[in-house]
Amino acid sequence: MNEPRPAAHDPASASRGAGSSPPSPIRRVGIVVWQGVELLDFAGPGQVFAVAGFEVSILAARPGTVVSQGFLRVEPTGTLGEGPAPELLVVPGGGTESALADDVLVAAIGRAAADADLVMSVCTGALLLGAAGVLDELEATTWHGAMDRLRALAPRTRVLDGVRWVDNGRVVTAAGVSAGIDASLHLVARLRGEAARADVARYMEYRETSEHPGHAEARP
């Protein structure tokens, strides 16, 4: 595709004309992957943040190739806990039960979440945040088939049905799979301005659904 990427690639130009505050200093996005991770859960947000001009890295708990959904081989660009910490940590879903049984991965996600300025989960990635204690005393959502599982894993979390994403300020959770794109666009608007969000959505030819909107009432 030959269409030039939108002006959202320039944080300053993306914020001008949007009537918003200066662009956020957040630039580094780290997306966590593991064996069996859901493809669109990490690729959707990766596309959004890359088009918006963020520095996107793919991180794993251990070195080595990761296979997504049995057919896509992914080479992580770094390891959690090594190198500059991501300012925005994205935790996708997929292969979640085996991921939950991986104490090294859960602990690494917990540490990275504590160090990040913003944390976002997609789909059943919320279960990993719940297991790491990141969602305690917060509102959250997840894939529709994992609501009860999240309630069991994170009893101190208020789990919301029927929303695409939940914004608590520092922690944002998205519903299943494609909802990660909606939540990522929401964060682009927060960090770079509404004009940047619109430019990225247009570039991707993505129309956000209004049937099940996001929930930001919990945000300070």
DSSP string across 122-185? -TTHHHHHHHTTTTTTSEE---GGGHHHHHHH-TTSEE-SS-SEEE-SSEEEE-STTHHHHHHH
69 inside domain: yes
Q: What is the pLDDT of residue 17?
A: 36
196 inside domain: yes
Domain count, the chain: 1
pLDDT tens for the chain, 220 residues long, are: 555 666 444 443 433 333 444 567 899 999 999 999 999 999 999 999 999 999 999 999 999 999 999 999 999 999 999 999 999 999 999 999 999 999 999 999 999 999 999 999 999 999 999 999 999 999 999 999 999 999 999 999 999 999 999 999 999 999 999 999 999 999 999 999 999 999 999 999 998 766 556 776 545 4
104 inside domain: yes
218 inside domain: no
185 inside domain: yes
Quote the CA–CA distance of 106 and 159 in Å, as a whole number: 20
Which residues pair with residue 73 across a beta bridge?
67
220 inside domain: no
133 inside domain: yes
75 inside domain: yes
| Residue of 74, 78, 73 whose CA lies nearest to 62 | 78
| Residue of 161, 157, 92 whose CA lies nearest to 128 | 92
Q: Report the CATH number at residue 111.
A: 3.40.50.880
| Residue of 201, 174, 200 whose CA lies nearest to 31 | 174
For residue 122, give its domain range. Answer: 27-203
Q: What is the pLDDT of residue 18?
A: 37
Which residues pair with residue 88 across a beta bridge?
29, 118
